[in-house]
Amino acid sequence: MPPISTRAAGRAGVLNTLENGSWQLQQSTMREEMLFAGVSRRAFAMSATRCMKLWGFGRTTSKELSVRRLHRSSIVRQASVMDSPTQTYEAVVVGSGPAGITVVGNLLEQKLSPMLWVDKSFSGGRINYAYREVPSNTKVGLFVDFATALAPFRRIVSSTPSRSRWDEPSESDGVAVNGKPDKLQGLRILDQGKGCDLSHAADMCLILTEGLRRTPGQWNVTLRDSAKSSGQSSTVSARRMVLCTGSSPNNSPLPVDIPGIYTLDLDCALSPTLLATTLSPMDSLTVAVIGASHPAILVLRNLYNLASTTKPNLRIKWFTRHPLRYAEFMDGWILRDNTGLKGEAATWAKQNLEPETMPDSDVAKYVTKIQYPSGTEKEVFEREMQGVEYYVQAIGYSRDPIPSLTTSSGRSIEPKYDHSSGGFNYDSNSESKVPGLFGAGIAFPERVTDPHGNVEYAVGFFKFMRYIKKVVPGWI
């Protein structure tokens, strides 16, 4: 059986520092698929120079750089390369997932322009192409708050673009004006205090992305396939670079070698439709799920739903090192806000997976729980993985690779992210900031400490918004 995976290789590249304080990117080589949007795609090598002002693109292989510049008249013109190569931009934003959308909106609210926005497809990132069927652990009301948190966003979602509705939140937001409702009705009709399928949030991202791309004074760079290379290159300048390059599920090798076992990619397992299609040709099958996170519980539920309906010979082994942990609503704050189970995953887990509920649940007919202490993985896996055909690891996410950084003298820089300012230090031993380089999103989140002293990393639409609103003034 082949491995089942929706992910490809990661990103690679080189950034070199220059003396004049600007950024310069030179795309030097690429393989089969361009990856630049914060999702794992086939490797792409590039060189870039951090000198606070230059960002450039050059093509030497069979890819075409398509550029769209939006004018004040909102008329779009296209070219195979940039036709204004010496223009200096105030910022370059890499990635168009939720974080990229948030950063672009905040920079526009700060009146920062012109801006260059770079992405593979401008299609909402992983949340749109992989997680549309996944139930959110965010309340619908927070998605609406996200989409109306900035004046540029309100311009986009408002059906009647009057200045009062553009510039400040209005009590009439969401109410039909002149008989025309705003563009968020798909979210507004849902229960604002509950979660929803992420398809609703993904559609919101697409609405905001299209609106932002039509904003005057902005370049949108889309990297597309081309039948042949023209060998052309182009360079532009930018004073700031913001990496919103995303993260991918961890999929490290098992601590033991089990013959005949293959990986089932987490993105695949989180989609009920894709999972059913993938496993449909197989009759008798055992799948292992490793982890007790929010995604792990959703994968267990998806597999159980298959086993209890169309695949009665499917069996699941659930490997976990600790009891389930839930988010708890305290007095004005949430304990384990970013690490505990919430929403549908929490409800299903309490009903079916806890020691007091699992023995009497129908889930126990198909799911075997294997709890083991940390440090015993090798012996437990060697014993319990026998007879397992596929395994899913739901053990967190790791940031996608960014281009490597070097100084003008060739010394390598290992940038360390500052989770309070959104900037980078030169390395883990340095307090010196890398000028003009910033990051945001799931790869570069805010570090938060709750009233009990627990440290977490804040991941979520409105958490990104709150953090970026706070740090962006320091980037200007």
CA distance 389 to 374: 24
Q: What confidence score (pLDDT) does residue 173 get?
A: 56
Q: What confidence score (pLDDT) does residue 175 get?
A: 58
DSSP state of 135: B
Angle at 241 between CA 240 and CA 247, to 5 degrees: 155
Q: What confidence score (pLDDT) does residue 179 get?
A: 59
CA distance 27 to 44: 8
| 148: three-class secondary structure by DSSP | coil
pTM for the full predicted model: 0.81
Contact 78, 219 (CB under 8 A): no
Pairing of strands 44-52, 22-30: antiparallel
Pairing of strands 218-225, 115-119: parallel
- pLDDT per 10-residue tile (average), the chain, 476 residues: 39 39 41 26 25 26 27 26 57 95 96 90 94 95 96 85 50 57 92 96 96 79 52 69 94 91 96 93 91 97 97 97 96 95 97 98 98 95 95 95 73 89 90 91 97 97 98 96
CA distance 213 to 104: 10
Hey, what are 366's tokens?
Answer: 């198909």
Q: Which of 150, 144, 66 is nearest to 106 (CA)?
A: 150
Phi, psi of 295 (to 5 degrees): -60, -35
Site of tokens 């296209």: 78
DSSP for 216-243? TTEEEEEEEE-SS----EEEEEES-EEE
**Residue 391, Cβ neighbours under 10 Å: how many?**
21
| 369: three-class secondary structure by DSSP | strand
**Which residue blocks in 53-184 are alpha helix, DSSP H?**
98-109, 126-129, 140-147, 151-157, 163-167
Radius of gyration (Cα) for the chain, nearest Å? 24
Q: What confidence score (pLDDT) does residue 174 get?
A: 57
Decide: residue 448, CB within 10 A, 0-12 exposed, 13-18 middle, 19+ buried: middle
CA distance 41 to 70: 28
CA distance 80 to 84: 12
CA distance 443 to 247: 5
CA distance 187 to 144: 7
Pairing of strands 44-52, 63-70: unpaired
Pairing of strands 88-89, 390-393: unpaired
Q: What confidence score (pLDDT) does residue 283 get?
A: 80
Report CA-CA distances (Å) from 466 to 70, 445, 461, 476.
Answer: 28, 11, 9, 17
Q: What confidence score (pLDDT) does residue 176 get?
A: 58
Contact 385, 258 (CB under 8 A): yes
Instruction: With residue 27 as reference, give the H or E element that holds it.
Output: strand 22-30
Beta bridge partners of 70: 76, 218
CA distance 149 to 268: 32
Phi, psi of 190 (to 5 degrees): -85, 165
Q: What confidence score (pLDDT) does residue 159 get?
A: 66
